Amino acid sequence: MKLRVFGSGSQGNALAVRSGETLLLVDCGFCNRELERRMSACGVDPDAAAGLFFTHDHTDHCKGLATFHKRHPQVPLYANGNTADAISVLTGVDDGWRVFETAETFPVGGLSVTSFSIPHDAADPVGYLFDDGASALFVGTDMGAPTFGVRDALARATCAVLESNHDPVLLQTSDRPVSLKQRIAGRCGHLSNGDAADLVRAVCPQRLKTLLLAHISRQCNAPYLALEAMRSAVAELGRPVALEVLDQDAPSPLYEF
């Protein structure tokens, strides 16, 4: 499998995964012009996508959909029912949806797709596991706490895009409103650096080769803090795992796994 992350953070999220001839997109959180600029820079043709999958209905995951759908109406849009309804209200896109039940596994081209529920303050948020039989990609961001489904999917992953959103001290000493601090740190908010590391320790994913830390807060985190928290957890796996931080402002390198 091959992965490109076009950007990750509160200003926009989107990625592409390819296995053989099957190209799938996840989220559409940039304006369409910026998203297509990044796709072009990465050699990704959106018209070739077999589906665009949505994790949830917040704007940093779906803001570019209206224009994207006008330009690429043949690309199916995948989400669970509540997420599809919420995104339709937000963007005006009410056609092209292929609705699935959360926790359902189904094929799209050469990939098997499984969604899993995550706790976040959205309509019905999910993460995904994309599996081609030889390798599997875990996508789990925007969650306040890990669930059984999160742990099960991460245990099967060879590559993981995992949220490591904030440093608790930086969050609490920031000038953000108390209500926002409580939301971010709460069960329906975001994983801290320590939360992400504890999740990896608890799951101990035996197939994991690449771990990409995602949705890094600009105000309440720093890449070196996220890496520092995760390094010891990765070391406890007892084998080499590539560990990197994803960027908000530029696409990632091409990851193959």
pLDDT band at 3; cut points 50, 70, 90? very high
Q: ∠ CA(143), CA(12), CA(109), 5° rounding?
A: 80
Cα 76 to Cα 74: distance, rounded to the nearest angstrom? 6
- Residue 128 in contact with residue 114, Cβ under 8 Å? yes
Look at residue 91 in the predicted model and tell me its pLDDT. Answer: 98
What fold, for 2-248? Metallo-beta-lactamase; Chain A (3.60.15)
Q: What is the CA radius of gyration of the chain?
A: 17
Whole-angstrom distance between the N-terminal and C-terminal Cα of the chain?
A: 5
Helices and strands of the chain, counted as H and E runs: 9, 14
Domain limits, the chain: 2-248
55-73 pLDDT per residue, tens: 999 999 999 999 999 999 9
Q: Taking the model in full, what pTM does it have?
A: 0.97
109-141 pLDDT per residue, tens: 999 999 999 999 999 999 999 999 999 999 999
